[in-house]
């Protein structure tokens, strides 16, 4: 058996948002590797082995997947959303460094619908013009780097999508992020809190920065800050495509 490795995005939560390409790879797989709640989204079947693991062992997970593919297994590494957005694709390629034997493997990255795009669609079109995406977790980078990126993005007038805004163990980071954004953008900038997008628990709320509180976000929330032109139209929020 000739092995291969697919790095797949399962989308933001609704099974209808899993792409046909990803579904086909899962149907052919002998092994599925990933973080525990993401592997739980894959239905068990005969001939398929599920390998759930903790969220802090990305490199170990990637090496295990590559070893199985090198041994002839058909392996799918799953992430939520898109695997290239704060997810497992980077970990797999990092694990490839220094291993030319693994670099010859059949490796594919299968895109998915990432949470910020699902959140933006649910809110309207807040990312309709230039935007950037920032992970607010300081697990893998210091807070000083995050603050610098926030300030520069605000001064460039980007709309911004924020992942991992507020964890139970480090709630103070989002407090600092909101303070920085108010300082750079003023109190009237629109900000959307999109929680559990595309699931039955979905909640979308748009307020001004002055009205935003840290408790409005958790790790299931994507936060989208508009640019200076972002505005409401009925129940929707959008950023115009023209700049005047």
pLDDT digits 0-9 by tens, 38-49: 999 999 999 999
C-alpha torsion angle, residues 17, 20, 71, 101 (rounded to 10): -90
Helix (H, G, I), strand (E, B) or coil at 198: coil
d(CA 47, CA 45): 6
Cβ 9 vs Cβ 79: under 8 Å: yes
The region, left, alpha or beta by phi > 0 then psi within -120 to 50, assigned to residue 193 is beta
Domain positions in the chain:
4-113, 116-238
Q: What is the predicted pLDDT for the residue at 207?
A: 97
Question: pTM, whole model, 2 decimals?
Answer: 0.91
Distance in angstroms (rounded) separating the CA atoms of residues 225 and 187: 12
State the DSSP H helix or E strand holding residue 192, giving kind and residue range, or none if neither: strand 190-195
The Cα 26–Cα 99 span in angstroms is 26
Residue 72 to residue 67: CA distance in whole angstroms: 9
Query: Residue 1: what pLDDT?
Result: 62
Give me 107's structure tokens. 């490796």
Structure confidence by residue, pLDDT tens digits, 90-144: 999 999 998 999 999 999 999 999 999 999 999 999 999 999 999 999 888 999 9
Whole-angstrom distance, CA of residue 36 vs CA of residue 75: 16
3-state secondary structure at position 28: helix
Regions of the chain with pLDDT less than 70: 1
In angstroms, the CA 157 to CA 152 distance is: 9
- Quote the pLDDT of residue 231: 96
96: three-class secondary structure by DSSP: helix
pLDDT at 98: 84
**What is the residue whose two structure tokens read 């980078």?**
141
Task: Report the pLDDT value the prediction gives residue 243, as an integer from 0 to 100.
Answer: 75
CATH code, residues 4-113: 3.40.1010.10
Residue 190's nearest CA partner among 132, 139, 123 is 123
Cα–Cα distance for residue pair 83/69, rounded to 1 Å: 18
CATH superfamily entry for domain 116-238: Tetrapyrrole methylase, C-terminal domain (3.30.950.10)
């Amino acid at each position: 058996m000739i092995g291969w490795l697919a790095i797949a995005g399962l989308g933001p939560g609704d099974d209808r948002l899993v792409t046909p390409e990803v579904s086909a790879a899962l149907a052919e797989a002998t092994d599925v590797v990933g973080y525990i709640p993401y592997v739980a989204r894959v239905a068990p079947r005969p001939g398929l082995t599920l390998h759930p693991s903790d969220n802090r062992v990305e490199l170990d997970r990637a090496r295990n997947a590559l070893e199985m593919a090198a041994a002839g297994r058909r392996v799918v590494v799953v992430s939520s959303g898109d695997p290239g957005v704060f997810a497992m694709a980077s970990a797999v390629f990092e694990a490839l460094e220094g291993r030319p034997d693994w670099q010859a493997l059949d490796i594919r990255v299968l895109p998915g619908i990432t949470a910020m795009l699902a959140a933006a669609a649910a809110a309207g079109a807040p990312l309709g013009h230039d935007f950037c995406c920032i992970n607010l977790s300081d697990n893998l980078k210091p807070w000083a780097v995050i603050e610098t990126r926030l300030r520069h993005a605000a001064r460039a007038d980007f709309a911004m999508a924020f992942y991992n805004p507020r964890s139970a163990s480090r709630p103070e980071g989002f407090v600092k992020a909101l303070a920085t954004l108010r300082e750079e953008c003023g109190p009237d900038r629109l900000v959307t809190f999109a929680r559990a997008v595309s699931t039955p628990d979905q909640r979308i709320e748009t307020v001004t920065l002055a009205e935003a509180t840290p408790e409005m976000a958790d790790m299931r929330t994507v936060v989208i800050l508009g640019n200076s032109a972002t505005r409401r139209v009925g129940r929707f929020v959008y950023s115009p495509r023209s700049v005047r």
